[in-house]
A and B are shown apart, each in its own frame.
Chain A
């Protein structure tokens, strides 16, 4: 095991800010992007349904 404790792991040999600053932004964007894509997909599906209902009225 490389890390003796959790605080040692978080400290990253003094580079914690740089390492976690990188991984944090990667995580946020790579979670946000699929959520935005899913939102767009669901919106497109419901709008297609709405257009259909308006036609049939």
Chain B
């Protein structure tokens, strides 16, 4: 058994299917547990903000959703390109499975941002660099999904999607640094690697707990969708046939 063989062991859809099936209940448990803890800290321990009142509590979902929208895009582009360059089927399937979840978090970041912007800035929406680049991210996700669905040849669709995802990836650093590069209405980063966080400890804890919950959620739902994609695409393989016949036996 060579080393590269072991490295690519989970690149086989059948192995991934088994491993992800084992991990799924634990990921859901993790997501729900951390969400409950995060909401408890966020709504019952974190104090009312001196300037924003209780409207700031939107941050506990707004920031994690915005982080996930960017991270999932980079993951999607990375797997799509890897699936194209290394001709790895599973990587392309993971890329496709990531897109709807990323689009949902992008929408949630925009939605919760609008509901936070209205009481704090007096406007639901402004054409500020951060907001506009995040809106472009939503269109990139939707464009990627529309593109891969519109091409019948599955592998060609994967390759076309990879190209779009790769070009669109330039938008992610633009979103991230937009508050530094342009003088915008949107506030700068609350958390940075180099400075102490500019918020109360309980507020920060709630936000980080919700972030872990959103990560676990993302893994779980993307695994579920990847498993469905595997069954759809690998229907002709022996192991899916065995699996399907066992499932129909159980139903009878």
27 of the cross-chain contacts (CB-CB < 8 Å) are A13-B48, A13-B54, A15-B54, A15-B55, A18-B115, A18-B118, A18-B119, A22-B61, A25-B108, A25-B111, A29-B108, A30-B217, A34-B221, A37-B224, A37-B225, A40-B228, A41-B227, A41-B231, A44-B231, A45-B243, A45-B244, A48-B243, A48-B247, A49-B247, A49-B248, A52-B241, A53-B248
Q: Does A46 contact B (CB under 8 A)?
A: yes
Complex CA gap A9/B61 in Å reads: 18
Would you call A15 and B53 a contact (CB within 8 A)?
A: yes
Complex CA gap A26/B53 in Å reads: 21
Q: A22-B115, A29-B104, A34-B220 are in contact. Are A41 and B58 (CB under 8 A)?
A: no
Given contacts A48-B244, A49-B244, A51-B244, 5 further A-B contacts (CB under 8 A): A13-B48, A13-B55, A25-B111, A40-B228, A43-B228
Complex CA gap A53/B244 in Å reads: 10
> Chain A interface mostly helix, strand, loop or mixed?
helix
Residues on the B chain within 8 Å of A1, using CB: 44
Q: Does B183 contact A (CB under 8 A)?
A: no
Complex CA gap A2/B54 in Å reads: 11
Complex CA gap A18/B122 in Å reads: 12
Q: Does B235 contact A (CB under 8 A)?
A: yes
Complex CA gap A39/B108 in Å reads: 22
Chain B's interface size range is 35 or more
Residue among B55, B217, B221 with most chain A CB within 10 A: B55
Q: A15-B54, A19-B55 are in contact. Are A49 and B245 (CB under 8 A)?
A: yes
Chain A's interface size range is 20 to 34
Q: Which residue from chain A places its CB closest to the CB of B242 in the assembled complex?
A: A52
Complex CA gap A38/B231 in Å reads: 13
Q: A11-27: which residues lie under 8 A (CB-CB) from chain B?
A: 12-15, 18-19, 21-23, 25-26
> Chain B interface mostly helix, strand, loop or mixed?
helix
Would you call A45 and B231 a contact (CB within 8 A)?
A: yes
Would you call B55 and A33 a contact (CB within 8 A)?
A: no
Task: Flag B198-222 by CB within 8 Å of A: 1 or 0 each.
Answer: 0000000000000000000100110
Would you call A33 and B100 a contact (CB within 8 A)?
A: yes
Residues on the B chain within 8 Å of A18, using CB: 55, 58, 115-116, 118-119
Q: Chain A nearest CB: distance from B230 CB in Å?
A: 8
Q: A18-B55, A19-B57 are in contact. Are A52 and B245 (CB under 8 A)?
A: yes
Q: Does B153 contact A (CB under 8 A)?
A: no
Report, nearest first, the 9 A-B pairs whose CB atoms are least far apart. A48-B244, A44-B231, A13-B54, A15-B55, A49-B248, A41-B228, A37-B224, A49-B244, A22-B112
Q: Chain B nearest CB: distance from A31 CB in Å?
A: 11
Task: Flag B156-178 by CB within 8 Å of A: 1 or 0 each.
Answer: 00000000000000000000000
